Amino acid sequence: MSPFFTVRTLLIGALIVFLALLPVYVVATGQFFPLTLFTRIVILALAATSLNLILGYGGMVSFGHAAYLGVGAYVIGILSKEGITSGFAQWPLALAVCALFALVVGALCLRTRGVYFIMITLAFAQMIYYVAVGLDRYGGDDGLIIYRRSQFAGLIDLSGKVQFYYLCLVLLFAAIWLVSRLANSRFGMVIQGGRSNDRRMRAIGFPIFRYRLAGFVIAGMMCGLAGVLLANHTDFISPAVMHWTRSGDLIVMIVLGGIGSLFGPLIGAVTLLMLEEGLSRVTEYWQIIVGPLLLFIVVYAHGGIDGILASLRRG
């Protein structure tokens, strides 16, 4: 067994403590901007974590994962516009719609491999994007303002910035925990075996398709949850939520943080969005810096930032 206190575990621990204590700082200083920023980071980290389940562990490079972000967000937006603001109705329905969407998309896409899989997942995401653009009643291209966040009968007030942040954070850690359990279960071994050697999986007797599909649906629902949170966070939905570049961002987060690493998506989301935030103040061409960084990671560190941390010796 590797020692518990490595550079990696210490840094990840520090990140967790930082995320957990951020509201204390914010409340003490009265500066709420960092909380808004980090709520967004946490939500997108949740989306990236869900993608990591299929992309990192399962080797299924979905290039349309932001579609679930969009579907989750739109269910909230549409229901709210139609006067249904109860979270007890909105949230389960959003997750159910995402599950159904993932089931249909997965059932078709998972019959293909490699570049075809990437392209067909992208195609489905674009399709749903243009469906959203065409929804005139719900703002079409311009999007839709959500006037009331999901109501939970006084149980939790999503309009309270700190409460909402903690809800997102708890859901993120729950998702990371869930992914960790899944990845190490029998189910996870099948998913990872499929990434490693599809042919052998069939030869030893696994009907791999149904396991992949299940993973695809779980990831879709988890990302849908991120969409639900995002809609409540921004009080606004628009097709931009599921633009294909957003799917690309999610992949970039995973690659940066570490493909198939439990905390990789979180590390990647924090890194990418902090870089975006910091650098865009300096120059509007902030991607000029992020691009080479990504290139460096891809070429020299396949394990992403988490992989670099893991390779560092203690002290």
Partner 1 sequence: MLQIRDLTKRFGGVLASDGISLDVPVGELHAIIGPNGAGKSTLVGQLAGEISPDNGRIFFNGRDMTRLPTHRRSELGLARSFQITCLFLDFTVLDNVALAVQAHAGHSFRLWRPARNDKELRGPARAALARVGLESRADVICANLSHGEHRQLEIAMALATVPRMLVLDEPMAGMGPEESARMIALLGELKAEQTILLIEHDMDAVFRLADRITVLVDGRVIASGTPDDIRADAEVRQAYLGGHEARRHG
Task: State the residues that interact with partner 1 by CB under 8 A.
Answer: 181-182, 184-190, 192-193, 196-197, 199-208, 211, 214
- Sign for the CA dihedral angle at 275, 21, 167, 218 comes to positive
Would you state the structure tokens that stand for residue 209, as one six-digit string? 């398709």
Between 11 and 214, whose beta carbon lies closer to partner 1? 214
How far apart CA 255 and CA 235 sit, in angstroms, is: 29
Between 41 and 175, whose beta carbon lies closer to partner 1? 175
Q: How far is the CB of 106 from partner 1 (least distance, A)?
A: 15
Question: What is the DSSP-derived secondary structure letter of residue 157?
Answer: B
- Give the closest residue to 98 by CA, choosing from 137, 63, 125: 125
275, 252 in Cβ contact below 8 A? Answer: no
Q: How far is the CB of 174 from partner 1 (least distance, A)?
A: 14
Q: How far is the CB of 220 from partner 1 (least distance, A)?
A: 16
Between 137 and 199, whose beta carbon lies closer to partner 1? 199
Between 84 and 189, whose beta carbon lies closer to partner 1? 189
Would you state the structure tokens that stand for residue 54, as one six-digit string? 């299929």
Which class for 301: exposed (0-12), middle (13-18), buried (19 or more C-beta within 10 A)?
middle
45, 170 in Cβ contact below 8 A? Answer: no
Between 199 and 281, whose beta carbon lies closer to partner 1? 199
Between 31 and 185, whose beta carbon lies closer to partner 1? 185
220, 261 in Cβ contact below 8 A? Answer: no
Q: How far is the CB of 202 from partner 1 (least distance, A)?
A: 4
Work out the number of other CB atoms within 10 angstroms of the CB of residue 295: 10
Could you tell me how far CA 31 lies from the centroid of its own chain?
26
Q: How far is the CB of 139 from partner 1 (least distance, A)?
A: 38
Work out the number of other CB atoms within 10 angstroms of the CB of residue 203: 9
Q: How far is the CB of 301 from partner 1 (least distance, A)?
A: 16
Q: How far is the CB of 207 from partner 1 (least distance, A)?
A: 5
Would you state the structure tokens that stand for residue 229, as one six-digit string? 């949170």
Between 48 and 201, whose beta carbon lies closer to partner 1? 201
